Amino acid sequence: MNRSKKHWICMATVCFLVFSLWACGEPEDGDDHGVVAGEGEHGKPTLYGSGWEEPAGKADAMQGRPGLPVSVDDSETAVWEVRNAWEDRDTTEARQAGLAWEEDSGLSWEEKFQVWVESMPAIDRPGHGETFLLTTPFGVEVPAPALECAELAMFLRIAFASWYGLPYFTEALDGHRQRLYFGHFGIRTAEGRYGRMANFRTQYNDYSDQAAAILAGEADWPSDPELARRSIPGSFDDAQPMIGPDANAGAYFDRVFLNKRVGYFLMMQLTYFGSVNLADPVNTFHVVPEATRPGDVLLHRWQATGIGHVMVVMRAERFGSGAAMRMEAEVASGSMPRRQPLWENPVSTRRNFTNSYAGGPGYGQFNGGLKRFRAATNIDGRWTNVVPASMAGDYLPATARQRIEERPSRYEDLLTELQPTEQLQAMAGVVEQHRAHLRSYPASCAARTRREDAFNELYLLGEELGMTREEIDETYRTTEDYVFAELVYGQSKTCCWNSTTPTMYQLAMEMNQEIIDAAGAESCPDLVVFKGRADGGDGFEVFREYAAARELGDAWVAWSADETCPQANVSQDTEVGHQWTPFCSLSLGEIVPVDPEDPETTVHHVTNDQVYPIPDNDPDGARSPVEVDVDGVVVSVAVDAEITHTWRGDLVVYLVFDGVPVEVKRGSGWEDDLILDEIVVEGFAGKQARGTWELWVVDTMAQDVGQIETWTLRLTIES
């Protein structure tokens, strides 16, 4: 059995440690709590970076700079009690079993943080793709929260630190350039409590003495109704449907923290800290590529202030050693508008690591790239964020600009690369991920840009496979790509608008579908791109009028600048210079049905019950065919399948038709069969249904075997 599988078995042996807490009121949402914020980031009043630069001497740089005295832990502002140090291995509590480690593991708390992140399994994500299942020491398992990207990284670090009594703080400057500290001791300056921030210890309650009873089933989970009704201040988009239909971030925090003080503290930390603060070397340190670990954060920074992108490393597996060592990594990230973290496959992850924004040439000055949280440590009676001594070999000084800027090219060699055909399908999945985000937030310019970045990768891969740009577009483009065309961010007011909805997406698609249908097969119409226009209103009157005509006027949300928006007064949005094949040169206009009012469709089921053994660690895999002998246009496709295997995490399942494979499911977990129940497969809508369809299953790792038992193709066809 390989090392990865042994690790999964270890992680399956989980014992739970706990503590618990309770809370009362807080100032109303919208209160700035006396904070004088810095520049906006995604509309958040983000604090400024600290301005600290690492000293040239390695020892001084690793130690960081002294913060508040440890005596602040006894103040009324304290959020949780510190019992442990990040480097502890042999204390009584460090020797106990925990979330993803066994008794007497010998791991430091830093290493335990890494294995906890690695232990959280991937699960299906509503809409498209996968997210992860959050595991807690309380026996609570819940899908990951919907957060902005930097918020996700801070949430995971704070959650772990608070559960296990570990010191934590990050620092920044406010608008008056006053040094602020957000940590286990509360929210403070060197003089005391900052502004009107809470006295967490006295305002909110702690139920940690009930932890054992809760684990034993002798007590119910305590809820703080005030926390549960809260949203992250200033938010319109922190809904947490995995908790309940009306739940926001406060309800999620109420569910996963027995210490309700932590929930209230997170409300403030996530409000005022962003990617610029995580890039700050006073809070995180650069990591050499070879030391990539789960729990690390990958930052894309293309500017000194303002927005960036933060991804959490969820998996990092090594193959070989020395100069021949290779890795495969996977990341997950939130976004703004807030979303459940999207777990990205190795191909997409590789693109993120090799992107120049990840601290590459010309961008190293912005402190992007692979980072790791510094560990708060008591040094001479003051809390100081340090690079742990055990990680000295992983540390890359911020002053080593050339080595920082070489990391993306190093990842080009270090991260394994799939065969071009596999890369093609994985990148098509990335395209679909960004489309899925647009279906919830149709104004998102970031999703449009990332979709087109993925298409540029598809074009390059297509060249390797002898496919022209037109053939790639014919295979992978959909009408929605043209309706939600990429816009120039600084010249388009749409890009500041985060409060758009799935209904607005559907209205835009239906309007364009009616335009296509009215034009008929003999002509190609001009599509109405979802963007601002000089129309005498807010720029979106054509869509508003269509919504009203459909008696859905109340569902249309007026344009608003939901984030920092210097371009708010542009008269008309600007599209980028598109590299795609023009819409009218493709067959999309005729054949893609988009939610027709009264579709005349039929559903066809075709099953293959023949058993097909899956060859072990073989890229050719096993292929099980079915024949569709009816004519018509494919509206939707779904797959049922039963696949037995001794290690389902080895498997990747594709549906193949007309020579095009599309990923259906990537196995996760360990010893169990892989059952697919009406998994919807995107990418085949509009094709003629007749022909041979194949379920293609590939085993990607050695030592475990299985077979395709049976599968059913479910086609909805419009005749």
CA angle 612, 618, 623 (to 5 degrees): 30
Confidence of residue 105 (pLDDT cuts 50, 70, 90): very high
Distance CA 132, CA 153 (A): 14
Mean pLDDT for the stretch of residues 678-685: 80
pLDDT of 404 higher than 60? yes
Burial code (b: 16+ CB inside 10 Å, e: under 16) for 440-466 equals bbbbbbbbbbbbbbbbebbbebbeeee
Confidence of residue 718 (pLDDT cuts 50, 70, 90): confident
Predicted model pTM:
0.66
Tokens for 698? 């590939």
The dihedral built from the CA positions of residue 21, 24, 30 and 34, taken in this order, carries a sign that is negative
pLDDT of 125 higher than 80? yes
Determine which of 288-297, 413-422, 686-695 has the lowest per-residue pLDDT on average: 413-422
- Cβ atoms of residues 381 and 69 within 8 Å: yes
Determine which of 169-173, 340-344, 602-606 has the lowest per-residue pLDDT on average: 602-606
Q: 410 or 26: which carries more pLDDT confidence?
A: 410
Q: What is the pLDDT of residue 2?
A: 40
Amino acid identity for residue 333 in this structure: S
Tokens for 263? 């929930």
Distance CA 109, CA 129 (A): 31
Nearest to 76 by CA among 184, 194, 201: 201
pLDDT of 695 higher than 90? yes
Burial code (b: 16+ CB inside 10 Å, e: under 16) for 110-135 equals bbbbbbbbbbbbbeebebbbbbbebb
Tokens for 148? 């902005």
Please, what is the average pLDDT of the chain? 86
Q: 618 or 202: which carries more pLDDT confidence?
A: 202
Helix (H, G, I), strand (E, B) or coil at 163: helix
Q: What is the pLDDT of residue 34?
A: 63
Q: What is the pLDDT of residue 600?
A: 53
Distance CA 508, CA 483 (A): 8
Determine which of 87-96, 155-164, 475-484, 517-526 has the lowest per-residue pLDDT on average: 517-526
DSSP assignment letter at 28: P
Q: What is the pLDDT of residue 704?
A: 81
Mean pLDDT for the stretch of residues 438-452: 89
Q: What are the residue ranges of helices labelled H in 415-540?
A: 420-440, 445-464, 469-476, 479-483, 502-519
| Each residue's pLDDT tens digit, 247-273 | 999 999 999 999 999 999 999 999 999
Tokens for 97? 């079993």
> Are β-strands 130-135 and 141-143 bridged in parallel, bridged antiparallel, or unpaired?
antiparallel
Helix (H, G, I), strand (E, B) or coil at 284: strand
| Each residue's pLDDT tens digit, 274-287 | 999 999 999 999 99
Segments of 474-609 assigned E as strands: 601-608
pLDDT of 10 higher than 50? no
Nearest to 89 by CA among 79, 99, 101, 78: 101
Q: 719 or 17: which carries more pLDDT confidence?
A: 719
What H or E segment, with its residue span, contains residue 12? helix 3-12
Distance CA 504, CA 543 (A): 8
pLDDT of 236 higher than 80? no
Confidence of residue 427 (pLDDT cuts 50, 70, 90): confident
- R_g of the chain, CA atoms, integer Å: 26
Residues 6 or more apart in contact with residue 557 via CB below 8 angstroms = 499, 500, 501, 504
Confidence of residue 679 (pLDDT cuts 50, 70, 90): confident
Phi, psi for 343 (deg, rounded to 5): -85, 120
Q: What is the pLDDT of residue 668?
A: 61
pLDDT of 490 higher than 90? no
DSSP assignment letter at 539: S
Top mean-pLDDT range of 45-59, 531-545, 585-599, 671-685? 531-545
Q: What is the pLDDT of residue 360?
A: 95
Mean pLDDT for the stretch of residues 647-660: 84
Mean pLDDT for the stretch of residues 85-91: 96
Q: What is the pLDDT of residue 40?
A: 54
- Longest Cα separation, the chain: 80
Tokens for 399? 């002053």
Segments of 222-333 assigned E as strands: 284-287, 297-300, 309-319, 326-333
Confidence of residue 415 (pLDDT cuts 50, 70, 90): very high
Determine which of 44-48, 349-353, 583-587 has the lowest per-residue pLDDT on average: 44-48
Q: Domains in the chain, ordered, with CATH?
A: 3-410 (no CATH), 420-591 (no CATH), 601-718 (2.60.120.260)
Q: What is the pLDDT of residue 32?
A: 57
| Each residue's pLDDT tens digit, 237-248 | 899 999 988 899
High-pLDDT (> 90) share of the chain, %: 54
Top mean-pLDDT range of 276-290, 658-672, 702-716? 276-290
Q: What is the pLDDT of residue 321?
A: 67
Segments of 612-659 assigned E as strands: 612-614, 618-628, 633-645, 651-657
Q: 420 or 513: which carries more pLDDT confidence?
A: 513
Confidence of residue 1 (pLDDT cuts 50, 70, 90): very low
Q: What is the pLDDT of residue 717?
A: 86
- Cβ atoms of residues 368 and 361 within 8 Å: no
Q: What is the DSSP string of 398-444?
A: TT-HHHHHHHHHHHHHHB----HHHHHHHHHHHHHHHHHHHHH-TT-
Q: What is the pLDDT of residue 66?
A: 95
Q: What is the pLDDT of residue 208?
A: 84
- Cβ atoms of residues 647 and 659 within 8 Å: no
Distance CA 242, CA 231 (A): 15
The length of the chain in residues reads 719
pLDDT of 377 higher than 90? yes
Q: What is the pLDDT of residue 605?
A: 86
Tokens for 246? 């009306």
Q: What is the pLDDT of residue 592?
A: 34
Phi, psi for 86 (deg, rounded to 5): -60, -30
Q: What is the pLDDT of residue 670?
A: 56
Q: How many other CB atoms sit within 10 Å of the CB of residue 585? A: 13
Distance CA 591, CA 169 (A): 56
| Each residue's pLDDT tens digit, 449-474 | 889 988 988 998 888 888 999 999 98
Q: What is the pLDDT of residue 492?
A: 93
Confidence of residue 27 (pLDDT cuts 50, 70, 90): very low
- Cβ atoms of residues 232 and 30 within 8 Å: no
Q: What is the pLDDT of residue 23?
A: 24
Place of tokens 């949430």: 155
Determine which of 18-32, 64-78, 102-116, 667-681 has the lowest per-residue pLDDT on average: 18-32
High-pLDDT (> 70) share of the chain, %: 90
Sheet with 169-173: strands ordered across = 169-173, 179-183, 186-188
Nearest to 587 by CA among 474, 468, 690: 474
Place of tokens 């799939």: 418
* Cis peptide bond prior to 613, omega within 30° of 0: no
Mean pLDDT for the stretch of residues 6-25: 28
CA angle 161, 269, 200 (to 5 degrees): 75
Nearest to 391 by CA among 282, 297, 288: 288
